[in-house]
A and B are shown apart, each in its own frame.
Chain A
Amino acid sequence: MEAFRKLASIAAPIQVANIDTDQIIPARFLKTPRSTDHGQFLFHDMRRGKDGNLSEEFILNQKEFKTSGILVADNNFGCGSSRESAVYALHDAGIKCVIAPSFGDIFYTNSLKNGLLPIKLDRSIVQAIWKALASANSSEVEVDLENQTIHLPNGSTYDFEIDPFRKQCLLEGLDDIDLTLKYQESIEQHELSEETNYPWTRSID
């Protein structure tokens, strides 16, 4: 997995709640193999008008925000379907961090497995970030995972929380399958005890 340590990038505010993974990437693109650039599918229908053309109203279509690496979103970002392609689409479009008051649980986990940092902050802080981005001359935000801080263009700084295990995996770009296989002995012991105590759970006849 790609490591994440620090990121300084344009941050785009997306002030809409409940942006589900169907909006991040519509279902018809899910059959696409990972090797294909998924950035082209990001917000595919959401960023287009009724005529099918890119709409200037959608922030990532605006010149200033085309190279955004950070999204500052609202409640429940990434809710809905477990499709990891939603994270592939963000990642391939260059978005490596999403800040929001809350996330869909599966999306949150999927992000961490692909080098994309999801940051949960109180909605009042997210609102303050939107405000700061609207009033500052620059939209560049710096995210520092090691120190768990966010620096805004107006000079203010916010701390964020992240589970230490996921933080370590992100900082080191660790693949957790390799990590898990180091516990092979404990896994086998546990399986043996499950097989002894609850034999019907460990086979399908």
Chain B
Amino acid sequence: MSYSEPKTLFEKIWSRHEILTRDDGVSLLSIDRHLCHEGSFHAFDKLKMENRTVRCPELTVAIADHYVSTSFPEKGNEVEALRVPIEKLEINSKDAGIRLYGVGSNEQGIVHVVGPEQGLTIPGITLVCGDSHTATHGAFGCLAFGIGASEVAHVLATQTLWQTKPKTMRININGSLSDGVVAKDIILHLISVIGANGASGHMIEYAGSTIRGLSMEGRMTICNMSIEAGGRAGMVEPDQKTFDYLKGRKHAPKFKDWDLAIEDWKTLATEPGATFDKEVTVNAEKIAPSLTWGNSPEETLPVTGYIPIPEDEADISKREALQSTLEYMGLAPGQKITDISIDRVFIGSCTNSRIEDLRSAARIAQGKKALVPAIIVPGSTLIKEQAEAEGLDKLFTDAGFEWRSTGCSMCVGMNGDITPPGERCASTSNRNFKGRQGPGSRTHLMSPAMAAAAAITGRVTDARDFG
């Protein structure tokens, strides 16, 4: 037996999918799963123009989420112009023979929530989608990353992708989380430490006792925001929690395949002694409930913090950038974070819309009254049904929150759900970019519990103090 270098989870999946590597170092990778949403119309248009067909429609699943109205889902969207992309998805998938979880389907929801929920996302595979938050699926120990329209067309036509092997980065998160600190706080804190391009060009593996201790939902929240740290993908090694989550899911392997798959999945973990191009270690015990104050996810502070003061910044260009951010966000230098008033609240998105997220928001909202408009948008139709079976819908509506249908909603600002200009939104989504939630909108990213607490008090609130 020849000695071989210890391998990482990523290297094992990569080499398994490498069809060929050119002399110039670029590899052709086989793709096992392709998820499409409404934005795929550009790729389908390109195929049509070039007279090409979809090579493996059986490995592609189309799911409507970006343009679906959360108030009138039965029509797709009440606004005709916003209905068009949904209809295009329906037509394109029908023409190509692609399975569609469209409007009205019981399986419909946000693509990155539906994939795992339906057992489409499994360890060891390559999974792509024309959406940057595809890294979410990496929580299951697969290689999942977002691609643009040209690459979507390439996958549709060939079921492969040309990729240059990314560098690898292991982020070790160890220690027990303090009470009231959740996965969202970990990832926001981490991005503030390594920066919005801290993982640029890298594939991240999240490891350590804190990650192992998280639920699958928590791991998904972490992997989801890998792109906000600049990472191409994020992944966690599969373990018993992964297998337990997947067992019996609609599209998960069954019978003999399930046993064979489990046997294989147990061999995927990074081996002791395997090396990464970069390693970062974070002490989980030091993480506090956190939120963003600026327009980049790296602009994150603990809820106990204060807005930075431009005059303290020595670098002129950084000082000017900070001044401009504070002006856009309507914040005063040195302001106490918990003095920031909130105009509306959004609990949803592929980052935080799963049942665990809704339960955590519900614990805060129970028996209280929201002071500002607040919407709850479950990540999928199934999660909505589960939450309703648990009585969460009633709990939320009694507390003055609006209970909506599933979709990308106010995370993406393209389906009718927006934050009006100048308004400040406490949001459980993933991007606090200028205008992300609507032109002129001001976003503060935080966990579901913190967003629910903000709804009750009308200002940024430490959910830990909230009895």
Interface of A toward B, CB cutoff 8 Å: 15-18, 20, 22-23, 26-28, 30-31, 33-34, 45-46, 75-76, 79-85, 87, 102-107, 109-110, 113-114, 163-165, 175-177, 180-181, 183, 186-187, 190-191, 194, 198-205
Contact = CB atoms under 8 A, between A and B. Distances in A.
B434 A23 contact: yes
Interface of B: 16-17, 19-20, 22, 24-26, 28, 30, 32-33, 39, 41-42, 45-46, 50, 52, 58-59, 61, 67, 81-82, 84-85, 99, 120, 122, 124-125, 130-132, 146-151, 153-154, 157-160, 162, 164, 196-197, 200-201, 227, 230, 232, 251, 253-254, 257-258, 260-261, 264, 295-296, 298, 317, 321, 412-414, 431, 433-436, 439-440
A81 B297 CA distance: 13
A196 to B, nearest CB: 12
B232 A183 contact: no
Contact of A79 (B120, B150, B197): B197
Contacts of B46: 34
B230 A204 contact: no
A97 B336 CA distance: 42
Contact of B99 (A18, A28, A199, A204): A204
A45 B434 contact: yes
B162 A176 contact: yes
Given A34-B42, A81-B132, A177-B153, A187 B158 contact: yes
Contacts of B251: 204-205
A205 B250 CA distance: 8
B333 to A, nearest CB: 20
A85 B162 CA distance: 21
A200 B157 CA distance: 22
A106 B230 CA distance: 10
Nearest to B408: A27
8 contacts: A18-B298, A28-B414, A164-B24, A176-B154, A181-B158, A187-B28, A200-B122, A204-B99
B30 A177 contact: no
Contacts of A16: 321
B39 A23 contact: no
B294 to A, nearest CB: 10
Contacts of A176: 154, 162
B124 A204 contact: no
A177 B50 contact: yes
B19 A20 contact: no
A103 B227 CA distance: 12
B99 A82 contact: no
A33 B49 CA distance: 13
* A75, A79, A87 pick with most chain B CB within 10 angstroms: A79
Contacts of B232: 105
B81 A180 contact: no
Contacts, number: 182
A191 B32 CA distance: 10
Nearest 5 CB-CB pairings of A with B: A113-B150, A200-B253, A110-B148, A84-B148, A84-B149
A81 B415 CA distance: 16
A22 B431 CA distance: 10
A23 B201 contact: no
A165 B321 contact: no
Nearest to A77: B197
B246 to A, nearest CB: 11
Contacts of B30: 187, 190-191, 194
A85 B257 CA distance: 41
Contacts of A164: 24-25
Given A20-B433, A113-B151, 15 more contacts: A20-B431, A23-B433, A45-B439, A76-B196, A84-B42, A85-B149, A102-B197, A106-B132, A180-B154, A180-B158, A180-B162, A187-B158, A187-B160, A194-B30, A204-B99
Contacts of A79: 196-197, 230
Contacts of A80: 132, 227, 431, 433
Nearest to A113: B150
Contacts of A84: 42, 148-150
B413 A27 contact: yes
Contact of A163 (B24, B58, B298, B414): B24
B19 A190 contact: yes
B124 A201 contact: yes
* B45, B251, B257, B435 pick with most chain A CB within 10 angstroms: B435
Nearest to A189: B19
A204 B120 contact: yes
Contacts of A87: 148
Contacts of A204: 33, 58-59, 61, 99, 120, 251
A20 B435 CA distance: 11
A187 B164 CA distance: 17
Contacts of B32: 194, 201-202
Contacts of B434: 22-23, 45-46
A56 B394 CA distance: 52
A128 to B, nearest CB: 15
Contacts of A85: 42, 149
Contacts of B122: 200-201
B74 to A, nearest CB: 20
Contacts of B28: 180, 183, 186-187
B260 A200 contact: yes
A167 B19 CA distance: 22
Contacts of A28: 413-414
Contacts of A15: 317
Contact of A31 (B84, B162, B439): B84
A76 B230 contact: yes
B49 to A, nearest CB: 9
Contacts of B264: 198
A153 B149 CA distance: 36
Nearest to A191: B30
B26 A163 contact: yes
